[in-house]
Structure 1
Amino acid sequence: MVKRLGRVDYAPAWEAMQHFTAARTDDTGDEIWLLEHPPVYTLGQAGRPEHLLPAGRESGIPLVHIDRGGQITYHGPGQLVAYLLIDLARRRLKVRELVHLMEQALIDCVADYGLAAERKAGAPGVYIDGAKVAALGLRVRNGCSYHGLALNVDVDLAPFGWINPCGYEGLQTIRLKDFGVDEDVAAAGERLLGHLQRLLPPVAVPADTPTAPANP
């Protein structure tokens, strides 16, 4: 199921992901949520507070300590956020494979605009000429993922300059608009969604599931 949520405050969306994941059963379908957030900094479990620079602390942008991996990042209007609530075992996926799949979906999405994006060893996310255009961060609980990815479409880049993005001092952050891409977040979301759905393996059918009898 795909949910297109529009612009949602960060904390309620995070709490909804946690509640959804905690309440899952074997019959709960996977979901992908597409949305934007108002301006917010989020700091992952191992995040170091010093990566929020003085200008960021003085900016008035709230900082939320959250339960995904990774360091600090920024979310704001004009940035596409996709949360992947996936039962990994049911799709026979390992965490590393899901991360690789998310990066590939982003690379393929960016390629649709005629741009060459790539991975960077040891630094999850997607980059164009060494500058970061998309970030990733996941949490897995009881074999099910939540959180996801963020693609900079037409987001204000100034708040990225007030942090060490993802813990890397001086890391340049860019957006699709800088390359002449004029699609809005909703359109970019549909484009990325198509690539995610194409790359996600199907739900595995349990071995003891009865099959329909063959036609006589």
Structure 2
Amino acid sequence: MHACLGFRELGLQPYEPVLEAMRRFTGQRDAAVQDEVWLVEHTPVFTQGQAGKPEHLLLPGDIPLVQTERGGQVTYHGPGQLVAYLLLDVRRRGIGVRELVSRIERSLVDLLASYGVPAAAKPDAPGVYVNGAKIASLGLRIRNGCSFHGLALNVDMDLAPFRRINPCGYAGLVMTQLREHTGPIELDEVRTRLREQLVRHLDYAEQTTLTGGID
């Protein structure tokens, strides 16, 4: 078990400055740097993974598109969606990419179970699903043995922009969110439960809240 996982609560942020900060953090870190998770909501944006195909972007309209180096195809981020960026030294931890994805998925499945919502992962389509509808997406990048990017959990948001794309490259994929299964829900409470699940499934002894900006 590893010592401590630090969490930064970033609130509502545009996507690109956070992306650039993740790149800097990952590029500059060394073996002494503590692992961190950044928790954030984004203003509306479509993001395209490194293998993304333009035909999956149907009618973007006035929502910007940002190309990224994460895995996966196109997805949508917006207010009411809880995003967690996992900035982990996976080489130091001795965790492979597939194992890291599995641990993240189990964290989400157990989080949803704590609300009485049965969910499952799919071996051929990373993410977490409720009755076949996707409730959480995953996309990671490993650079110099360290991970960045992460997960997006739909909590209480406008799902309409997902209809402007083929989410994660799947035409007709139905998206869902936690509110549809629980009724009114507080994002802060979901955030707290996600922190607890990530600490447990990523095998840390404790968590701490980090202060200061990401610039």
So what's the TM-score if we normalise by structure 1? Answer: 0.90
Structure 1 stretches of 4+ moved >6 Å: none
Do the aligned partners of 1:78 and 1:184 also contact (CA within 8 Å) in 2?
no
Tell whether 2:146 aligns with 1:144: yes
Distance 1:27 1:168 in 2: 40
The alignment-based identity, stated in percent, is 55
Higher Rg of the two aligned structures: 1
Partner residue in 2 for 1:40: 45
Distance 1:88 1:198 in 2: 16
Do the aligned partners of 2:115 and 2:182 also contact (CA within 8 Å) in 1?
no
Do the aligned partners of 1:131 and 1:171 also contact (CA within 8 Å) in 2?
yes
Instruction: Answer 1 or 2: which has greater strand percent.
Output: 2
The 5 Å alignment of 1:127-142 reads 127-142=129-144
Match of 1:156 among 148, 155, 158: 158
**Which secondary structure state, in structure 2, belongs to the residue aligned with residue 119 of structure 1?**
strand
The one-letter amino acid of 1:139's match is: R
Partner residue in 1 for 2:108: 106
Number of residue pairs the alignment of both structures matches = 200
**Which secondary structure state, in structure 2, belongs to the residue aligned with residue 80 of structure 1?**
strand
So what's the TM-score if we normalise by structure 2? Answer: 0.91
Partner residue in 2 for 1:171: 173
Deviations 1:97-133 (A, max 9, x none): 1000000000000001101000112100000000000
The 5 Å alignment of 1:1-216 reads 1-53=6-58, 55-56=59-60, 59-202=61-204
The one-letter amino acid of 1:190's match is: T
Q: Which moved more, 1:143-152 or 1:177-186?
A: 177-186
Shift of 1:91: 1.5
The one-letter amino acid of 1:4's match is: E
Deviations 1:59-88 (A, max 9, x none): 200000011010000000000000000001
Distance 1:121 1:89 in 2: 23
Shift of 1:185: 2.1
Greater relative contact order structure (CA < 8 Å, 6+ sep): 2
The one-letter amino acid of 2:72's match is: G
Change in Cα spacing, 1:68 to 1:147, as seen in structure 2 (3 Å) is same
Return 5+ residue gaps in structure 2 as ranges. 1-5, 206-215
Partner residue in 1 for 2:209: none
Do the aligned partners of 1:91 and 1:201 also contact (CA within 8 Å) in 2?
no
Do the aligned partners of 1:42 and 1:73 also contact (CA within 8 Å) in 2?
yes
Return 5+ residue gaps in structure 1 as ranges. 204-216
Distance 2:202 2:168 in 1: 26
Distance 1:96 1:164 in 2: 24
The one-letter amino acid of 1:162's match is: R
